[in-house]
Structure 1
């Protein structure tokens, strides 16, 4: 009995092994699962080229010296010299102009020609030069005659300032102002007597 059981068990074992082996061959091999992902192609950013900034230093343009002919150079120098002299004279006039306007009296009862009186005053004042720093006051009265032609005569000091230099400058101002315009036709006298007062105040 035991030997029969052993044989049956052996046969069953062999059968089971055979079935297993054949089963493995029959079952198809499963394929691997492939999962795909969408891919978005992205272009790489462009490589920026480093631009070297060049600092351009402006070149100084050399000014060409304009060389004038000798004759023109001489003329230019003379003009410049004249302008400098005129400027100095103007400065001297400004510095030496009296602080008060001179007064003027006429040796006649009637003379309604105000414009003529103003012309006399202006011509004399334009030639007035006094640049001395004198402390106090100075006053000189000059007398002269204006004839019908505008020429003058009998120029003299009527009232002195007791300063000889100042008196001479007053006389010189009248001398440089001549000749004056001819006397107005409406004035019938042969001459016009003038008392011109120069007054300086520091």
Structure 2
């Protein structure tokens, strides 16, 4: 489950884009193993104007390798994302999302 997100540019205020993006990622996320207690994993990724992901990595691991891999794969399988909004002037946006079981 996605539990939060932080963008590296506070000018990026496009809830519709986020809704589409989170929907795609949520559809591709499956918790691979039974996990006792709550765990969190942060994934950082960069999206360019076209919606293509040019970087994705585990930014803050949960300590459970299978869970971390599933989080990263959910982002990678979901790409490409919708193009960035035309009125957003930057060519790239960095996003950190938090997954939890």
Q: Return the TM-score normalized by structure 2.
A: 0.94
Report which structure shows greater RCO (CA 8 Å, sep ≥6): 2
- Per the alignment, residue 3 of structure 2 pairs with 102
Selected match of 1:145 from 46, 59, 69:
46
More helix by share: 1
Which runs of 5 or more structure 2 residues have no equivalent in the other structure? none
Q: State the 4+ residue runs in structure 1 displaced beyond 2 angstroms.
A: none
Q: Does 1:169 align with 2:70?
A: yes
| CA pair 170-114 structure 1, distance change in 2 beyond 3 A | same
- Per the alignment, residue 27 of structure 2 pairs with 126
Q: Return the TM-score normalized by structure 1.
A: 0.48
Matched residue count:
101
Partners of 1:104 and 1:121 within 8 A in 2:
no
Q: Distance in 2 between matches of 1:162 and 1:133?
A: 14
Q: Distance in 2 between matches of 1:193 and 1:132?
A: 29
Measured after TM superposition, the shift of residue 111 of structure 1 is 1.6
| CA pair 154-131 structure 1, distance change in 2 beyond 3 A | closer
Measured after TM superposition, the shift of residue 132 of structure 1 is 2.1
Which runs of 5 or more structure 1 residues have no equivalent in the other structure? 1-97
- Per the alignment, residue 184 of structure 1 pairs with 85
Q: Distance in 2 between matches of 1:131 and 1:170?
A: 10
| CA pair 155-131 structure 1, distance change in 2 beyond 3 A | closer
- Per the alignment, residue 23 of structure 1 pairs with none
Larger deviation, residues 125-134 vs 148-157: 125-134
Structure having the higher Rg: 1
